[in-house]
Structure 1
Amino acid sequence: MKAEEVDGGTLETWTVDEVAEAYERGDIALIDVRTPQEYMFEHIEGALLLPMSFVQADKLPSQDGKRLVLYCGSGIRSGKVARSCLAAGITPLAHMEGGFGAWKKAGRPHIGTDMATGAPKRVAP
């Protein structure tokens, strides 16, 4: 994990492996800040959708002590959203380095789209 001091607190940037391990243990809640179209095409199973354009930091869900981890396609949007949330006093908070692209590159399971039917399908490593 990398940590950087920004306005409002510490911005944590987690690797795909760190996110996957914490998610498997149930220690974090994942929030996908991509567009609804991107999410419908493919996403991490169980991740909540909260598109960047609709994020209101003061309205984020409480996770009873769970750290919120944001992700997007590449890590750029999630980093911007994380900074705005930290500035609003939302902690603990992190974002995933490399975004969903890095998740897929690492061979992690996710929900994709069956191109023949348009239906969602699990994609396993």
Structure 2
Amino acid sequence: MEFLIIAVVVLLAVGLFRYYRQRNYLKVLTEDQFREGYRKAQLIDVREPQEFDRGHILGARNIPVSQMRQRLIEMRKDKPVYLYCQSGTRSARAAQLLHKKGFQDIYHLKGGFKKWTGKIKSKNQ
């Protein structure tokens, strides 16, 4: 029983540490804030290609988080990076990778694509 309590405390501590560290390099934006800046930035959809094809924010490039490490050359460190995924989890993971690789100006859409109400494009259109 004591081991279980220690394990839970350690997991909570690690989670809190990651959350506060992430706040230093990742700016979470509401949809309105996201709209204000994404046209002047690199807009990256980090979902898988089949998700991207079903619908994505107009102007977005698809670089899945699973391929991001191999495709970093496609991104510029001197321009802001606006990330989104379906709900926000994968874009936060992508932001962590970008930060480790020297990217500074990183933003992501609060609530992800499922909360987006703006223009979208899909392969079916």
TM over 0.5, shorter chain: yes
Indicate whether 1:31 and 2:44 are aligned.
yes
Higher strand share: 1
Gaps of 5+ in 1: 114-118, 121-125
CA RMSD, Structure 1 to Structure 2 (Å):
2.1
Q: What CA distance in whole angstroms lies between the structure 1 residues aligned with 2:96 and 2:80?
A: 15
Equivalent of 1:20 in 35, 38, 48: 35
Q: SS state of the match for residue 52, structure 1?
A: coil
8 Å Cα contact 1:35/1:51 also seen in 2: yes
Structure 1 moving runs of 4+ over 2 Å: 4-7, 57-60
Q: SS state of the match for residue 38, structure 1?
A: helix
8 Å Cα contact 2:52/2:122 also seen in 1: no
8 Å Cα contact 1:58/1:90 also seen in 2: no
After superposition, where does 1:47-66 map in structure 2 within 5 Å? 47-56=60-69, 58-62=72-76, 65-66=78-79
Amino acid at match of 1:69: Y
Gaps of 5+ in 2: 1-18
Indicate whether 1:93 and 2:93 are aligned.
no
**What TM-score does the superposition give when structure 2 sets the normalisation length?**
0.73
Indicate whether 1:111 and 2:121 are aligned.
yes
Q: What CA distance in whole angstroms lies between the structure 1 residues aligned with 2:102 and 2:54?
A: 32
Q: Is the radius of gyration larger for structure 1 or structure 2?
A: 2
Higher helix share: 2
**What TM-score does the superposition give when structure 1 sets the normalisation length?**
0.73
